[in-house]
Amino acid sequence: MISKSGTLPTLVMIGVSLVTSAHHAAEEEVTRDLVILDEAGVRNLRLETAEATEDDFSQSILALGHIEVFPGRLHIVSSRIPGRVTKVNVKPDQAVKAGDELIVLESRQPGDPPPSITLTAPSAGLIADMKVAPGKPVSPDDSLLAIVDLAVVHAIAQVPEHFAGLLKPGQKANIRVPGYPEKTFAATLEHLGAMADAHTATLEAAFHVENPDGLLRPGMRAEFRIETGSRENVMSVPRESVQGDGASRYVYVADFELENAFEKVPVEIGEENDARIEIVNGLFPGDTVVTRGAYALGFAGKGSVSLKEALDAAHGHAHAEDGSELSGEEHDHEHGEDDHDHDHAAGFTPPTWFFAGLSGLLLVLLMLSTAFRQRPAA
């Protein structure tokens, strides 16, 4: 027997809540922030994608610094005897090998002709700081030129002193320089400075960097990301995937059903390193996010293909312009069917049946509630 505890009104309110929630869910499905492109659009934007993964995530600190010559890799060429330069065989920035003839000098000692000597390269490297020319007199105190070996260089980071406790020799770092913004250079922490800089409140951290192609040159400015630890099973995506700034960050996720469709999804980010950004909330493992071209997608509007066209192609039947399912009558109109003798129920979609069932349940509950209220007390 139904009590007077308000069960029926409660059920009525539950029914209303279910209908409202389902309606909002359907609206959300239709109003997703989608960019839908055709094949030409994907090629023009040069889109590339990657998966959001749960993996080890390296923790790091950021510092600025510069590139220096590796200790012992700079050689100064000079003459042990006074004389006059008669021939110079090299040019600035020229690569030389150990033993190559560099400069020919005419000695000041008497003779006919005066004796001459040839200065050779003490090591392989590049000619730098050249201060010699034919006819120039020289003395043993003169530095004629320098040879710098850039196969390995020193990268000096000025690390804020409050990070000193996180640093120790052997740690890895990735280094970027303005001249090669897309390239990173792997390095190993060799030593920490014996003294901190009181004016800048920084501590020197010196890294050995292999430089076989000679891309890194002494004096270049550098940005350092020094690895200080790692965490396991962290959701992350490539750095270039995350767009926006401040409190509004988002990624474009490839739709699992619609071809060349990308949804703008708000995300909450965590820590960052030189390659990836932690995603605290907003994505699931395996979501495919846009990497290259993500910024350009923000200016693509709704794309070059309508939501209706994309859903029609994916599902094999017609949809409304806003992407919703067509009712039976709308479906007939879409296909030019004016004969109303056919079965309209065949055009009902699952959402239509769902709303119809909930409406029927709500009607029954209302009728029971009314009958119960009109029933005389025993």
Statement to judge: residues 53 and 183 lie in one domain = yes
Domain-embedded: residue 265:
yes
Preceding peptide of 113 cis, ω within 30°: yes
272 lies in the same domain as 227: yes
What's CA 111's distance to the chain center, in Å?
70
pLDDT of residue 202: 94
Q: Are residues 96 and 54 part of one domain? A: no
Shared-domain flag, residues 98 and 213: no
pLDDT of residue 244: 92
Residues 50, 114 within the same domain: no
In a domain, 1, yes or no: no
Counting as low any pLDDT under 50, the low residues of the chain are: 1-5, 22-30, 306-308, 310-311, 313-315, 321-322, 338-347
User: Can you name the residues that pair with 325 across neighbouring β-strands?
Assistant: 319
- Same domain for 98 and 84: yes
> 29: part of which helix (H) or strand (E)?
helix 7-30
Instruction: Give a yes or no: residue 336 inside a domain.
Output: yes
Strands 145-148, 125-128: parallel, antiparallel or unpaired by DSSP? antiparallel
What pLDDT is recorded for position 70? 92
CATH number at residue 116: 2.40.50.100
Query: Does residue 40 sit within a domain?
Result: no
Cα–Cα distance, 39 to 48 (Å, whole number): 13
Domain final position from 245, 267, 302: 302
Task: Please report whether residue 275 resides in a domain.
Answer: yes
pLDDT for the residue numbered 7: 55
Q: How many domains does the chain have?
A: 3
The residue range of the domain holding 20 is: 7-29+322-373
Question: 0.75 cut: is pTM over it?
Answer: no
**291 within 8 A of 49, measured Cβ to Cβ:** yes
Q: What is the pLDDT of residue 29?
A: 44
Provide the Cα torsion 358, 360, 365, 369; round to 10°.
140
Shared domain check, 168 and 23? no
Residue 108's pLDDT is 85
Q: Is residue 326 a part of any domain in this protein?
A: yes
The whole-number pLDDT of residue 339 equals 47
Quick one: 61 and 191 in the same domain? yes
Question: What pLDDT score does 119 carry?
Answer: 94
CATH number for 250:
2.40.30.170
In a domain, residue 2? The reply is: no
Do 51 and 194 reside in the same domain of the chain? yes
Q: Which of 272, 302, 332 is the last residue of a domain?
A: 302
Q: Is residue 378 a part of any domain in this protein?
A: no
- Both 260 and 290 in one domain: the answer is yes
Bridging pattern class, strands 116-120 and 101-107: antiparallel
Domain boundary among 302, 331, 348: 302
Residue 352 has a pLDDT of 65
Residue 182 and residue 88 in one domain: no
> Does one domain contain both 128 and 218?
no
Supply the pLDDT for residue 162: 92
Three-state secondary structure string covering 284-300:
CCCCEEECCCHHHHCCC
